[in-house]
Structure formats: C-alpha cells, structure tokens
C-alpha cells in the first residue's frame, strides 16, 4: 500500500507523511477574516483543506482539524465603523453567511473553529515570552513589535533572505519601529477606535496584530508542535513566516512539520482578489450554478496549481459532473451509504493518486473510468463503488435525479408537475402518431432547459441541460 506524500513548502519537496503521534493528526488552517461575503478564493482554500481532512480520515487517522476565524482586524473595524454597527454584529452576521456558503459546498465542519477575540490572553502571554527572549519591544508609538533580525531562522519558509526584503513589500514604514522589517504584535489603541477593539495589557490598551492571532490559537488548541499547517499561497509570506518567527521564538525549534499551500484562483490570468476588485462571491456564483458544480470545478484541479475561473470552465464542470450522475441514474445502489472496496482496481489507483500529494485530477479520472464501466454493464457493485469513491471527495452524495433535476425553476414541484404533464402529452402524441406534436413538445422543453431521455419503453427520465 502506498504511503501518503505531501508537498511540504518548508522543504520544497514531497515528503512521506509521518505524524508526530502515530495514528493522530493535528492540523491548523488559516480561516476567514469576516467582514464581507466569502469569495471564490475562500471557496478554493476551504475545499482544498476539506479534501485533505477527508483523505486523512479515509486513511484511518484520528484528525483534529482547527480552522480559525479572524474577528478582529483593521478591515473589520473600518467596516463596522462605516456601517455604524458594532464589531460583534458585523462579524456574527458574516460568520453565519460563511457557514451557509460552506455548508452549501459540502464542507465538513472542522473539529474546532476558534475566534481570535477569545484568545487575547494567550496572545499576550506569547508576546510576553517574546519580550523576555529579546524578540519583542515596545516602540515609541506604543505598538509592540517583533524584532525580525533577532530571529535567525526568519525567511526559511518563503526562501527570502533579510537582504532581499524591502519594507514597502510588507508593511507601512512607521517611526515606532527600530527596523522597517519588524512587524506589529500589539497595536496601541487609538482614540477613534471603538471600545470593543481595545484590551488592557502590560503595554497599555490595544489589540492584537493579525499574525499573533494564529500563533496563539494554533498553540492553544494543537500544542506548540503540530503536524500540518495550511492556507492559501498568499499567506506563505509574510503571515506564515511571521507565525513561525513568533511560535518558535517563544516555544522552541519546530512549530509545524508540514506546510501546505494551495494555489491562487485566477481571472483573465490575474490573481482574483478583493484588492484588485476582480473577485466573485460564492453567493454570486451559486445563483448561476449548482453548489456541487462549483465544488467539482475546484476538486478536479490539483490544489497547488492555478485555478482559472470562467463560465466556460464551470459549464465544462457541470457537464462532467452530469455524466457521473447520469451513470448512476439507471442503477439502484440502495438507500444505505456504500463503503469503498479498497482492494478493487479503481480504488487502488484512486488511493495511489490521493497519496501522491492529494492528486485529485487523477483520482477524479478513476471516477470517470468507473462511470464508463457502469454505463456498459449497469453493475450495482460498480455503481456503489463509484458513489463511495466519489463520496471520499464530497461528491455524488445526492440521489442522481436530485442533481439532474435541480435548479429547474423557482416553482419547484409545480414546475416538475408541468414537465411530467408535458412528457405524458408527448407520449400520447406519439401513440396517436402525431410526431410533429411530439417533436414540438420536446423542442419546447429543450428551449426551457429540459432534456428528455428516450428509452425503448418510453420517456421516463429527464434532466436539466
């Protein structure tokens, strides 16, 4: 049986995965800063680590998966003030929207979902340790900063040397810092900021910097040394680099064994991001496409590769997912949840693909090979295996007709009743040898996005185009 290999950003190579504690995995993923709706970049990141989580579970590991929520940060404060509402009202609202979006996309909930505001004491404790270790100091402006040049390992994750770094790439140069490369651990309060963005500390009233939040939450919930840390490629530097500097500067030599970073979502060959204004929210996309289509679009690309977003690619994903569901439509796989037969040939190759750095494109290819077999032989065993393997990726978990007929119209069952009536009228027309009328009905349904599937015993199935 093949061993799981993970591309470790820190090592810049694929490495055999060996957990710190046999049979158990502790994984932390940087979550969402909750001040707006989640966009497609968030969907990709969350789906990627949902797949990693699912595969670790399928491989028999006991997994503690922590995905944090950033609920205090400059953008959050600014948006709450602009809206004339409390920070808690803003963040609670968008946390609810985030949960709705992720549930629609079939994400498993993490083991823990800590909010930064609940871990301020732990942050202050780490900052205190860093100050004792000569890695933190209070600047003239009241901010507490990390002394980057005092940490010998800085740059090991990103591969950047101190000489390569320029202050303008990372931070706004500020006179309170001894060195422009230093970053903020604790921000001194401003008069204009709301009281709920202020905490008392030995350094005075203030709030945490972004980077210290994740060090505190990961260490509190997973320990000072854990197995996997993940996030988008944009977080590799400076966020994850700074996390290493903080955690290892406070607690010791190794924070994380394996660092995993997913690739960007791109639009017109440009990174999709809020700062560029070229992003789509998950909710905007789900107005046009079934949520499983979006999930499939993300899953069938390798997580480290760029993901090119377009309606053309989503339409292609829709067609491909339809082919998988269509293969199951004429086979009764039973009401129970099928279990994977890991000795079966497709499953063996599926496992090899997933163990090779979560190679979902090759794993998905096995699903299509199985679908071809099911289309040929209508085998219940093959159909159950297809459904079970796809379920490992969070796919094909609905009844085929539920997917194939989804999104037909806002009238729901009334619209479905209209279609059934039209099919019956077409059958009557064919029986009366009125083929022109039968063709007219078929064309009318097709124009409204309904495809009829004729079989020798008549038309029993239909699906959306």
Annotated binding site: 30, 214, 239, 243, 274
Pair 202, 121: CB distance under 8 Å: no
Phi-psi region at 31: left, alpha or beta (left = phi > 0; alpha = psi -120 to 50): beta
Secondary structure (DSSP) of 382-446: HHHHHHHHHHHTT-S-S-HHHHHTTTS-TTTHHHHHHHHHHHHHHHHHHHTT-HHHHHHHHHHHH
C-alpha neighbours within 13 Å on the C-beta side of residue 415:
15
Q: 112-136 as b/e, with b when 16 or more CB fall inside 10 Å?
A: ebbbbbebbebbbebbbebbeeebb
Hey, what long-range contacts does 11-19 have (CB within 8 A, 24 or more apart)?
12/159, 14/356, 14/357, 15/258, 17/258, 18/257, 19/61, 19/227
- Apex CA 316: angle with CA 393 and CA 272, to 5°? 80
- Apex CA 316: angle with CA 363 and CA 305, to 5°? 50
Which residues participate in the annotated binding site for ATP?
A: 274
Element at 282 (helix H, strand E): helix 282-286
The pair of structure tokens assigned to 434 is 């009125």
Which residues participate in the annotated binding site for Zn(2+)?
A: 30, 214, 239, 243
Which of 175, 171, 197, 195 minimizes the C-alpha distance to 183?
171
Pair 355, 5: CB distance under 8 Å: yes
Alpha-carbon distances, residue 316 vs 203, 319, 443 (angstroms): 56, 5, 23
End-to-end CA, the chain: 41
Beta strands in 251-344 (DSSP E): 256-262, 265-267, 270-271, 307-308
Q: At what angle do helices 241-251 and 120-132 cross, to 10 degrees?
A: 70
Which of 192, 184, 228 minimizes the C-alpha distance to 209?
184
């Amino acid at each position: 049986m093949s061993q799981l290999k993970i591309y470790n950003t820190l090592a810049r190579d694929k490495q055999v995965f060996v957990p710190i504690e046999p049979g158990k995995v502790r994984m932390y993923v940087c979550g969402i800063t909750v001040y707006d709706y989640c966009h497609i970049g968030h969907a990709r990141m969350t789906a990627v680590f949902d797949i990693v989580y699912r595969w670790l579970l399928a491989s028999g590991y006991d997994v503690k998966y922590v995905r944090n929520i950033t609920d205090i940060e400059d953008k959050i404060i600014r948006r709450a003030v602009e809206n004339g509402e409390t920070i808690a009202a803003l963040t609670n609202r968008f946390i609810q929207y985030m949960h709705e979006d992720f549930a629609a996309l079939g994400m498993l909930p993490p083991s823990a979902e800590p909010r930064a505001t609940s871990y301020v004491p732990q942050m202050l404790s780490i900052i205190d340790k860093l100050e004792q270790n000569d890695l933190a100091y209070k600047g003239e402006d009241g901010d507490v900063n990390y002394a980057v040049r005092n940490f010998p390992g800085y740059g090991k994750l990103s591969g950047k040397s101190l000489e390569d770094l320029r202050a303008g790439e990372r931070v706004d140069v500020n006179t309170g810092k001894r060195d422009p490369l230093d970053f903020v651990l604790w921000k001194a309060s401003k008069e204009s900021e709301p009281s709920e963005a202020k905490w008392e500390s030995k350094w005075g009233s203030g709030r945490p910097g972004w980077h210290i939040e994740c060090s505190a939450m990961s260490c509190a919930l997973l320990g000072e040394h854990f197995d996997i840390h993940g996030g988008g490629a944009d977080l590799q530097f400076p966020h994850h680099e700074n996390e290493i500097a903080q955690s290892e500067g406070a607690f010791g030599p190794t924070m994380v064994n394996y660092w995993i970073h997913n690739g960007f979502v791109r639009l017109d060959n440009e990174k999709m991001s809020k700062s560029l204004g070229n992003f789509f929210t998950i909710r905007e996309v789900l107005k046009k496409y079934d949520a499983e289509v979006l999930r499939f679009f993300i899953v069938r690309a390798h997580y480290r590769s760029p993901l090119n977003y377009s309606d053309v690619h989503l339409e292609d994903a829709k067609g491909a997912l339809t082919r998988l569901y269509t293969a199951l439509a004429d086979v009764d796989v039973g009401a129970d949840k099928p279990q994977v037969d890991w000795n079966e040939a497709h499953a063996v190759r599926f496992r090899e693909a997933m163990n090779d750095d979560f190679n979902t494109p090759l794993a998905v290819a096995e699903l299509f090979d199985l679908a071809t077999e099911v289309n040929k032989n209508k085998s219940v065993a093959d159909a159950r295996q297809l459904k079970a393997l796809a379920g490992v990726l969070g796919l094909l978990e609905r009844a085929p007709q539920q997917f194939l007929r989804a999104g037909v119209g806002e009238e729901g069952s009334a619209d479905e009743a209209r279609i059934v009536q039209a099919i019956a009228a077409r059958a009557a027309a064919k029986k009366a040898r009125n083929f022109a009328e039968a063709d007219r009905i078929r064309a009318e349904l097709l124009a409204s996005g309904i495809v009829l599937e004729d079989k020798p015993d008549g038309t029993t199935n239909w699906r959306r185009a």
